[in-house]
């Protein structure tokens, strides 16, 4: 689908869709628990609906009772059933990698596959520790690419140092560790997002952390828990940047999840000079939540890398747009993981912003961006990547753009285009 976006400012109030990472985990962890749970503000985008469909194939009763509400009956670790057919995850890397952990602990055989993007994305780094725990995993290119076939059950615990900071990898190991006797430990080079740990602890798992180490004791009896999913800060990022770079703009973003392992975009934008005010801080199901008020501001280029990158990895495309509007040079390093997303997000971000007039150079692990930009507008595309499509939409508020392939925004932000029309003045 092609859409056109024309210049304007952003003003008003936005209620964000539920956090994608938390929505996935609310489904999966409640499925492994005992009892009934209501998940409110559930993100009913294509990725999370893929997780929902897969859990139904594992025998979990899941009922959508409203567009953003789900009732789920947990089956516990022992009563998930062997799927009768292939589990199709669509475009969701979170679904396939987290379910690899679950299925490794489930007696029987299962097969996971997805769309063309999933078939290109690396699965080997998840398969290796699961194989060390005792799962038999077969896939293309030595088990590194989907479709992935798993023979699970009879896992042993392990201590594993991950090669990268990845919440999906860490979560897959922890989920497999729930089925293993003893204590499973995961050590990351840098701390990745910790939604899985917070939710497991709240459901009764014996789990503890020490710096970048996370340990979980196997065979817990988890208790299902009602979860009110906070607004997704990755979705908020588009509005935070848009209201900052567009003159005479002001937006109030309600109910935004501010998990410290996810809120790096706030740190980066504030360092650049953004005006973002936090109000009404509170805790929802163990997750910090607040409202954010953002208004127009002049930005300066910065250098970012290291420990900040895992905290804003998904927001780098829209952060690159902010950098192209800032005075001076912005350097983004240590973000090579972006080459393994729905698209090669480093190359794709640079390609799209260059078309619109930005001065941007790609490095093996990041970007160099010189601003400010004299925006040209023109024809652009999404490369099938939801975050790139929404980045181009915000760019269209600076100069007219025509974006090809906008349907992919349904992956993470159903209703994005309607919200854009509501707040564009």
Q: What is the DSSP string of 165-188?
A: --HHHHHHHHHHHHHSBSEEEEE-
* Domain stops at, among 228, 256, 290: 228
Categorize the per-residue pLDDT at 284 as very low, low, confident or very high, splitting at 50, 70 and 90: confident
Average pLDDT over residues 145-161: 97
CB 314 within 8 A of CB 343: no
216 and 260 both lie in a single domain: no
Average pLDDT over residues 67-76: 94
**pLDDT at position 178, please?**
98
**pLDDT at position 405, please?**
96
Indicate the average pLDDT of the chain.
Answer: 96
Q: Is the pLDDT of residue 261 over 90?
A: yes
Task: Tell me the Ramachandran region of residue 306: left when phi exceeds 0, alpha when psi lies from -120 to 50, beta otherwise.
Answer: left
Average pLDDT over residues 354-382: 96
Q: Is the pLDDT of residue 285 over 80?
A: no
**pLDDT at position 51, please?**
97
Q: Which of 86, 188, 193, 96 is nearest to 144 (CA)?
A: 96
**pLDDT at position 65, please?**
85
157 and 275 both lie in a single domain: no
Choose between 89 and 65: higher pLDDT.
89
Percent of the chain with pLDDT over 90: 95
Assess whether the previous peptide bond of 372 is cis (omega < 30° from 0): yes
C-alpha to C-alpha distances, 336 to 234, 310, 366, 385, nearest whole angstrom: 19, 11, 6, 17
193 and 105 both lie in a single domain: yes
Write out the two tokens for 275: 């005006």
CB 173 within 8 A of CB 214: no
147 and 261 both lie in a single domain: no
209 and 74 both lie in a single domain: yes
Q: Is the pLDDT of residue 126 over 90?
A: yes
**pLDDT at position 337, please?**
87
* Domain stops at, among 170, 203, 228: 228
What b/e string do you get for 57-91 counting C-beta neighbours within 10 Å, with b at 16 or more? bbebebeeeeebebbbbbbebeebeebeeebbbbb
Categorize the per-residue pLDDT at 56 as very low, low, confident or very high, splitting at 50, 70 and 90: very high
308 and 215 both lie in a single domain: no
207 and 273 both lie in a single domain: no
Element containing residue 404 per DSSP (H, E): strand 401-404
Cα–Cα distance for residue pair 297/323, rounded to 1 Å: 13
Tokens 């490369």: give the residue: 383
* Domain stops at, among 195, 228, 261: 228
**pLDDT at position 64, please?**
87
Q: Where are the beta strands (DSSP E) in 41-83?
A: 61-66, 69-75
**pLDDT at position 339, please?**
86
Q: Is the pLDDT of residue 342 over 80?
A: no
* Structural domain containing residue 193: 20-228
Tokens 């005010």: give the residue: 277
- How many domains is the chain built from? 2
What CATH number corresponds to the domain at position 272? Answer: 3.65.10.10
365 and 413 both lie in a single domain: yes
CA dihedral 186, 235, 318, 406 (to 10 degrees): 120
195 and 241 both lie in a single domain: no
71 and 200 both lie in a single domain: yes
34 and 7 both lie in a single domain: no
Q: What is the sign, positive or negative, of the torsion defined by CA atoms of 199, 200, 202, 203?
A: positive
209 and 296 both lie in a single domain: no
Q: Report the catalytic residues.
A: 314
**pLDDT at position 3, please?**
97
Percent of the chain with pLDDT over 70: 100
């Amino acid at each position: 689908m092609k859409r056109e976006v024309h210049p304007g400012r952003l003003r008003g109030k936005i209620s964000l869709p539920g956090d994608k990472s938390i929505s996935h985990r609310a489904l999966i962890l409640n499925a492994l628990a005992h009892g009934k749970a209501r998940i409110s503000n559930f993100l009913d985008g294509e990725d999370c609906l893929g997780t929902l469909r897969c859990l139904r194939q594992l025998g979990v009763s899941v009922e959508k009772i409203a567009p953003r509400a789900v009732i789920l009956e947990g089956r516990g670790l022992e009563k998930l059933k062997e799927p009768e057919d292939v589990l199709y995850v669509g475009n969701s890397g979170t679904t396939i990698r987290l379910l690899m952990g679950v299925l490794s602990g489930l007696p029987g055989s299962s097969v996971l596959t997805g769309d063309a993007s999933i078939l290109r994305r690396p699965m080997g780094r998840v398969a290796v520790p699961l194989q060390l725990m005792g799962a038999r995993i077969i896939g293309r290119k030595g088990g590194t690419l989907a479709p992935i076939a798993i023979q699970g059950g009879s896992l042993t615990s392990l201590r594993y140092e991950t090669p990268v900071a990845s919440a999906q990898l860490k979560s897959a190991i922890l989920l497999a560790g729930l089925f293993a006797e003893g204590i499973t430990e995961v050590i990351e080079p840098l701390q990745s997002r910790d939604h899985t740990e917070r939710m497991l602890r709240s459901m009764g798992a014996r789990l503890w952390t020490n710096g970048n180490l996370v340990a979980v004791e196997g065979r817990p009896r988890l208790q299902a828990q009602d979860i009110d999913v906070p607004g997704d800060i990755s979705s908020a990022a588009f509005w935070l940047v848009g209201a900052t770079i567009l003159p005479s703009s002001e937006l109030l973003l309600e109910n935004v999840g501010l998990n410290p392992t996810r809120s790096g975009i706030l740190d980066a934008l504030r360092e650049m000079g953004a005006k973002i005010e936090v109000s009404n801080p509170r805790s929802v199901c163990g997750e910090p939540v607040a409202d954010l008020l953002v208004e127009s501001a002049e930005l300066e280029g910065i250098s970012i890398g290291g420990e900040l990158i895992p905290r804003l990895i998904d927001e780098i495309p829209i952060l690159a747009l902010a950098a192209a509007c800032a005075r001076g040079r912005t350097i983004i390093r240590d973000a090579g993981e972006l080459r393994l997303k729905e698209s090669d997000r480093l190359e794709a971000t640079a390609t799209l912003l260059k078309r619109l007039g930005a001065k941007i150079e790609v490095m093996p692990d990041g970007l160099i961006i010189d601003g400010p930009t004299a925006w040209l507008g023109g024809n652009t595309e999404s490369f099938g990547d939801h975050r790139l499509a929404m980045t181009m939409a915000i760019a269209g508020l600076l100069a007219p753009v025509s974006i090809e392939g906008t349907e992919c925004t349904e992956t993470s932000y159903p209703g994005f285009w309607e919200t854009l029309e509501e707040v564009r003045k």
